[in-house]
Amino acid sequence: MIASLFHAWERRLASVPTNRVVRPFEWGLDWITTNGHTSEPLEHVREWVDEVMRDTSAFFDAPPTRDYVFEPASRERRRHGEAGTLRFPSALTTPHAENNTVRARWFPPSPRLRRTSPETGRALLVLPQWNADAEGHVALARVLARVGIGALRMSLPYHDARMPPELTRADYIVSSNVARTVQVCRQAVVDARRAIAWLALQGYERIGILGTSLGSCLAMLTAAHEPRIRTQALNHVSPWFADVVWRGLSTQHVRAGLDGHIDLNQLRDVWRPISPFSYLDRVRSVRTLLVYARYDLSFPADLSRRLVEEFRRRELPYEVTVLPCGHYSTGTAPFKFVDGWVLTRFLMKNL
């Protein structure tokens, strides 16, 4: 009975946005290298993915940049703990100019709790959920700063100020365009690595990452390829990117675009580069928190439990928390406060 009540609530919350669009299926061959491929589109993408998986360190490489620009916050924002906005060029260029400049808001540790120097202090990169607006996870970043953890909240590709005018949702990062989805998620990871490099330039050595929903997937991909990360807090989790899109409540419109063109096994195969399952053995030295919701219809709980089981089976260092709610209801009171407390407590202890 409790499950049916939460599931009904989740469906009501999911129905609030009315701007979801079923976009046509595309292989996205214009987003990948040809390398002399002359095969059918599915085989072309598979061959490209096989090449990627042979050296994912190269695929997610983020060459260093000196082009960081920091714009101090207004007096009003400074009163609420925000120091300013960091801007820098993305390491991956897309056809949309707006998307090629990364934006991140910096909330330094509270002066009352700051350690004697950045080297002994703590800093965290925060990746919000899919379709988060400019204020998504800002309240959480403020809380982290108040307990002594600097929080750099990064906008994901094609979100808020990075969104081109033809979009009303961040459709280009998760869509029925197969290769584009891989490449834009790749962009999020290389952007995250450059953001972490900026934290290191500020002198921070104790660096972690926190991600929610889509952000949790991108956070783990980043932790698997960024040696500076020592701790990750993953909020709503799944081992496979494809299964969430195929089965999730939030992505029914994406599934509608995929149907009839590709099946789940094929999609899981070509989305291997952006699936956490591919990188589990690369996070052995990263302390991990896995959070999932018992009544989640967007990240089905059986997928989350499968990821937890893989962490246990491989003897990876992890903690797990199960929230007594669903995906959308995690963002409502009182569950958002419980979730925030779980994440903050873990980071204070482990970062």
pLDDT score for 110: 82
Range of the domain at 30: 2-350
**Separation between Cα atoms, residue 304 and residue 290, nearest integer Å:** 9
pLDDT score for 118: 56
For the chain, the average pLDDT equals 95
Q: Is 70 exceeded by the pLDDT of residue 38? A: no
pTM as predicted? 0.95
Q: Is 80 exceeded by the pLDDT of residue 67? A: yes
- pLDDT-derived band of residue 121, with 50, 70 and 90 as boundaries? confident
Strand order in the sheet with 149-154: 69-72, 84-89, 101-107, 149-154, 122-127, 206-212, 229-235, 287-293, 318-323
Per-residue burial over 328-343, b = 16 or more CB atoms within 10 Å of its CB, e = otherwise: bbbeeeebbeebbebb
Q: Is 60 exceeded by the pLDDT of residue 45? A: yes
Residues 6 or more apart whose Cβ sits within 8 Å of residue 71: 84, 85, 87
Residue 232: give its domain's CATH number.
Answer: 3.40.50.1820
Q: Is 70 exceeded by the pLDDT of residue 117? A: no
Percent of the chain exceeding pLDDT 70 equals 96
- Number of structural domains found in the chain: 1
AA letter at 87? R
**Separation between Cα atoms, residue 217 and residue 67, nearest integer Å:** 27
What average pLDDT does this structure show over 39-65?
95
- H or E, element range at 308: helix 301-313
Q: Is 90 exceeded by the pLDDT of residue 252? A: yes
What average pLDDT does this structure show over 125-145?
96
Residues 6 or more apart whose Cβ sits within 8 Å of residue 314: 280, 281
Q: Residue ranges of the alpha helices (H) in 90-240?
A: 138-146, 178-201, 214-225
What average pLDDT does this structure show over 329-346?
97
What are the tens digits of pLDDT across the range 11-34? 999 999 889 999 999 999 999 976
- H or E, element range at 75: helix 75-79
What are the tens digits of pLDDT across the range 159-192? 999 999 999 999 999 999 999 999 999 999 999 9
DSSP label of 109: P
What average pLDDT does this structure show over 316-339?
97
Which range has the worst mean pLDDT, 107-111, 175-179, 289-293, 305-309? 107-111
Which range has the worst mean pLDDT, 32-36, 171-175, 192-196, 343-347? 32-36
Closest CA to 154 of 184, 124, 174: 124
**Separation between Cα atoms, residue 334 and residue 341, nearest integer Å:** 11
Q: Is 70 exceeded by the pLDDT of residue 113? A: no
What average pLDDT does this structure show over 111-125?
69
DSSP label of 270: H
**Separation between Cα atoms, residue 121 and residue 202, nearest integer Å:** 11
Give how far Cα 309 sits from Cα of 100, 275, 304, Å: 38, 16, 9
- H or E, element range at 8: helix 2-14
Q: Is 90 exceeded by the pLDDT of residue 271? A: yes
DSSP string for 174-188: SSSBHHHHHHHHHHH
